[in-house]
Amino acid sequence: MKRRLTAHQEQTEINVSPLIDMVFILLIFFIVATSFVNEIGISSTYKDSASPNSSNLEPLTFDLTSTGQILQNGSPIGLEEVAPIVIRTERESSDKVLLRVSPGSRAGLATQVMDQALRGGASTVKLAALSE
């Protein structure tokens, strides 16, 4: 009589341990799968060229040759000179820099020139590809 009573009691309540197991596995899966890609980098948040008042101003232009030279007004300069040139150039839209790259030049150097221009106070650096 006593045994039957306990057996009956066990059957009525739902066994939740498999449920908990499954939920834990799902939880661990989602914790692991939530990959937070943490990138650092430079973003040149330039306004669209459609904005009317900025279009008539000539941006400060740097050229990157395929041999890895940085040209400004046709004369070669070093990478460390980019930031001082941007600082020195006093203009209304002094924060606008155009970097023209020729085919064959390295992207690493282009990124470094953009970085130096941003360091010199430019807020917008536009990257343009020169056709051969």
Partner 1 sequence: MKNIPRRSMDRIDQEINVSPLIDVVFILLIFFIVSATFVSVPGIEVNRPKVQTATSLQRNSILFALSNENQLFHGGQEIQLDEMGTVIENSDKKRDKPVIIQVDQWADASILAKVVAQARKSRSNVSIATRKPS
Q: Which spans of this chain sit near partner 1 (rule: CB under 8 A)?
A: 9, 16, 19-20, 23-24, 26-27, 30-31, 33-43, 45, 48, 64, 101-112, 114-116, 118-119, 127-130
Q: Which is nearer to partner 1, 23 or 57 (CB)?
A: 23
Task: State the nearest-atom distance from the C-beta of 24 to partner 1, in Å.
Answer: 7
Type of residue found at 10: E
Q: Please give the order of strands across the beta sheet that includes 75-77.
A: 75-77, 70-72, 60-64, 96-101, 124-129
**Rg of the chain in Å (alpha carbons):** 31
Task: State the nearest-atom distance from the C-beta of 53 to partner 1, in Å.
Answer: 19
Question: What DSSP designation does 39 have?
Answer: -
Give phi and psi for 59, each to the nearest 5. -75, 155
Q: Which is nearer to partner 1, 38 or 56 (CB)?
A: 38
CA nearest neighbour of 47 among 57, 32, 62, 38? 57
Task: State the nearest-atom distance from the C-beta of 9 to partner 1, in Å.
Answer: 8
Task: State the nearest-atom distance from the C-beta of 85 to partner 1, in Å.
Answer: 16
Type of residue found at 84: P
